[in-house]
Amino acid sequence: MSTSNTPTETEMLAANAAGVTRAASILTEGGLIAMPTETVYGLAADARNDHAVARIFEAKGRPRFNPLIVHVADAATAQRYVAWSDLADRLAQAFWPGALTLVLPLRPGSRLSPLVTADLPTLAVRVPAHPLAHELLTQFDGPLAAPSANPSGKISPTTAAHVAAGLAGRIEGILDGGACPVGVESTIVGLFEEPVLLRPGGLPQEALEHCLGAPLKVHQSGDPLIAPGQMTSHYAPGASVRLNASDVGPEELLLGFGTVDCALNLSAAGDLTEAAANLFHHLHALDAKVPKGIAVSPIPEIGLGRAINDRLRRAAAPR
C-alpha cells in the first residue's frame, strides 16, 4: 500500500520569465511550487485540484486539515470565490495587494477543493504584493492555495534556502525570489457581522483600525463562536459515524479504504493522498443517501492518515 511520500525532484527556479513559466506549468499539472510572497514563502497548489491540495498537507506533514489561504492575482478574481461586501471592498482598496488576508463567506459554486476550506462555508483570500507571486498568479490564471512553505511545526521560511532545507524532495519546485521583505505572515481579518482580527501579522492592526475608523475586535483563542459558519460548524454528517469498522451494519454504508467491498472507497489502492482528496466529497455523498450510520474502514495513522483520522474522529464525536 502506498502510504508514504514518494521522493520528488525539487527544481530550483530562477526569478525570471522562464522560471515563472515553468512554475505555472508545474502548478497546472497539479504539482507543488514554493513561491515567494512579501510575507513568507507559500507552498502553492491549484486550489481547485483536490489531489494537489492533499499533497500540500502531505508535504508539510500537517496532522490536521486546517483551512488554507487562497492567493489570487487581484480583487476582481477574489470576488469569484467569496461573497463580496462594501467592507471587503474598502479594505481591499486600502491594502491589496499586500499582507492582509480576508475571511469571507465562500461563494456557492466556487469549485474550490473542500480541502482548501476544511469544508467550512468561509474562505480566506489574499492578493499578494510580491511581483513574482503576482506574475505566477497571472500566468497560472487561477486560485492558488498556499500555507507557509515549511514542515508543520517549523519556523516559516523567508528565503528559498529555508524552503529547500525543509521541503526539498517533497515538492516539484521552488521559485527563488530572494528574501521576503515583510518576513511574517499576513494579518487575517474575518468579515462577518463585524470585522474580527483572527491573526496578527504583517499589516499592523492600527493601519486596519485607521481605515475602518473603529477599534478592531480581536479574536482570543478559546473564545466562543466568533461567527456563524466558523470552526464549530465544521461539517459533521447527519448520519452517525463509526470508525475502524471491520463489518457493516444493516442500516450502515461503508466508507472504505483499500481492498474492501464498500459503498464508496476513499482509495481502493490504499493511497492516503487519494483518500485525503476524496474525504469530504465522499462524506457528503454518503450522507446524502441518508443512511443511519456511516461505517469507516481503518485508516493507517501515518502521514496524511493522521489528518484523515483527525477529521473522521471529529465527525464521529458525540454531538
Q: Tell me which residues touch Mg ion (CB under 5 A).
A: 148
Torsion angle of alpha carbons 117, 184, 32, 113, nearest 10°? 10
Q: Measured from the CB of residue 150, what is the shortest distance to Mg ion in angstroms? A: 6
Q: Which amino acid is at 166?
A: G
Within 10 angstroms of residue 111's Cβ, the number of other Cβ atoms is 11
Contact call for residue 113 and ligand AMP (CB under 6 A): no
For the chain, the maximum distance between any two Cα atoms, rounded to a whole number of angstroms, is 61
Query: Does residue 166 touch ligand AMP according to CB under 6 A?
Result: no
Binding part of the chain for ligand AMP, among 17-25, 122-130, 250-258, 309-317 by CB under 6 A, reads 122-130
Report the C-alpha gap between 214 and 85 in whole angstroms. 18
Asked if 40 contacts 199 with a C-beta cutoff of 8 angstroms, the reply is no
Given its phi and psi angles, is residue 258 left (phi above 0), alpha (psi -120 to 50 degrees) or beta? left
124 binds, among ligand AMP, Mg ion, none (CB under 5 to 8 A by kind): ligand AMP
Q: Please choose which of ligand AMP, Mg ion, none residue 67 contacts, taking the beta carbon within 5 to 8 angstroms, the exact cut-off set by kind.
A: ligand AMP
In 93-186, at which residue ranges do the beta strands (DSSP E only) sit? 100-105, 122-126, 144-145, 173-175
The answer to whether 195 and 56 are in contact (CB under 8 A) is no
Interface with ligand AMP, residue 152, by CB under 6 A = no
Query: Please, which residue, 26 or 226, has the CB nearer to ligand AMP?
Result: 226
Cβ-closest position to Mg ion: 148
One of 33, 53, 82, 198 touching ligand AMP (CB under 6 A): 198
Over its C-alpha atoms, the chain yields an Rg (Å, rounded) of 20
Residue 245 binds to ligand AMP (criterion: CB under 6 A): no
Candidate ranges 114-122, 215-223, 252-260, 289-297; the one touching ligand AMP (CB under 6 A)? 114-122
Interface with ligand AMP (CB under 6 A), residue total 17
Q: Rule CB under 6 A: which residues touch ligand AMP?
A: 66-69, 103, 117, 120, 122-124, 147-148, 185, 188, 190, 198-199
